[in-house]
Amino acid sequence: MSGAAPFGPGAARTGAIVGDGAAIRARFGLGWPGFRLDVDLALPGRGVIALFGHSGSGKTTLLRCLAGLERAADGYLAVRGELWQDESQRLFVPTHRRPLGYVFQEASLFAHLTVRRNLEFGLKRVPAASRRIPLDQAIALLGIEPLLARLPGRLSGGERQRVAIARALATSPRLLLMDEPLAALDVKRKQEILPYLERLHAELDIPVIYVSHAPEEVARLADHVVLLADGRALAAGPIGEVMARLDLPFAHDEDAFVVIDARVAAHDDAYALTRLEFAGLPLWVPGLGAPVASRVRARVLARDVSLALSERHDSSILNVLPARVVSLDEADPGRTLVCLDVAGTALLARITRRSAAQLGIVPGRDVYAQVKGVALLR
């Protein structure tokens, strides 16, 4: 039913087993006047992978190629050991034979079916033996129990997207594709859905490829980032690394930040503080409700990090971390952006160029990073 011919000569040969069974290999080349997508990616077969870029960068086209909604003339796609497309042998598994879930940007519920019937639409087309996510679990995960009898026309935008996500999950996909599922929603609705997406991440072992142009969404949800521009992948890697790379646009944003995945180590009830731990280092944050040993993700803005040459104990700043300068960016006449290595974790600091010169900040130098603020993302 897709725009590209869904029934290629290779359509019958589905699910050949190939290569690295854990990862996603994707190579697509296609274009039309004024646009060309040309990517060759090796992505992890787990966690949330964000496709990040401006509009027109090819994010959605890439996602549609992954789904088989577009057929790249030059295409290869293997998902966790199953071959879905290989044009060199004219193999193309049509969308409806791919065990994937797809959440579109705007409401895409079938208007003629109730919420329950929408949820069952995909479920009943999946063989019983392949069902791994019970409908009840999908309903509970997205909190849509009270909506089941309603028609899509009577739902809010946020409710519709939650139903659309549950509908995709109910097919027990081996890969979940989401095309800016929050873009059409206002801030309040976004806040309403984000926790559900995080639960998805925490409770289900399904790789999610998530298209977004909002850095805060990416920071909150993604484990792995692919940065796209003009149909090409500028960079791909774990979020902690990509966000801190000085050669990429992220680090140059006014609100540039890095994310740190940490563990709750202890609560200090006397001072209402919580001690997190990452790479063996402590990170103090305002008291959390999260239990000890749970995983959290923290965000540190580049402008909230300053540098010192000694580990001072006469300052009010709680978090002082030993770091090594990795690289500098001095393109701005007044401010220098410093990329730091803190026991293997990347950190960004934005300081004045004058300070950088006075302290002698050069690559390889050992310094102390004073972190003025840490925000918890999840």
CA–CA dist 28, 40 (Å, integer): 7
Residue 1 is a binding residue for another protein (CB under 8 A): yes
Provide φ and ψ at 58, rounded to 5°: 105, 10
Nearer to another protein, 126 or 246 (CB): 126
Q: Which amino acid is residue 211, in one-letter code?
A: V
User: Structure tokens of 320?
Assistant: 């002082």
If one counts every other C-beta atom within 10 angstroms of the C-beta of residue 378, the result is 19
Please select the residue that binds another protein; options are 8, 14, 44, 108, rule is CB under 8 A. Answer: 108
DSSP 73: S
Nearer to another protein, 163 or 302 (CB): 163
| Site residue total, another protein (CB under 8 A) | 28
Nearer to another protein, 167 or 220 (CB): 167
**Distance, CA of 109 to chain centre:** 24
Residue 110 is a binding residue for another protein (CB under 8 A): yes
CA–CA dist 60, 227 (Å, integer): 13
Read out DSSP for 242-262? HTT-TTSGGGGSTT-EEEEEE
User: Structure tokens of 151?
Assistant: 């028609």
Please select the residue that binds another protein; options are 121, 216, 248, 335, rule is CB under 8 A. Answer: 121
Shortest spacing between CB 153 and another protein, in angstroms: 5
Residue 14 is a binding residue for another protein (CB under 8 A): no
Applying the rule CB under 8 A, the residues between 30 and 69 that interact with another protein are 67-69
Applying the rule CB under 8 A, the residues between 136 and 195 that interact with another protein are 152-153, 167-168, 171
Nearer to another protein, 80 or 117 (CB): 117
Please select the residue that binds another protein; options are 94, 158, 181, 231, rule is CB under 8 A. Answer: 94
Q: Which stretch binds another protein (CB under 8 A): 45-53, 80-88, 110-118, 352-360?
A: 110-118
User: Structure tokens of 364?
Assistant: 């390889």
Please select the residue that binds another protein; options are 29, 38, 47, 126, rule is CB under 8 A. Answer: 126
CA–CA dist 85, 321 (Å, integer): 47
For the chain, the helix, strand and coil percentages under 3-state DSSP, each to the nearest 5: 25, 35, 40
Q: Which stretch binds another protein (CB under 8 A): 82-90, 102-110, 182-190, 322-330?
A: 102-110
Are the C-beta atoms of 203 and 133 separated by less than 8 Å?
no
Chain contacts with another protein (rule: CB under 8 A) = 1-3, 6, 67-69, 94-97, 100-102, 104, 108, 110-112, 121-122, 125-126, 152-153, 167-168, 171
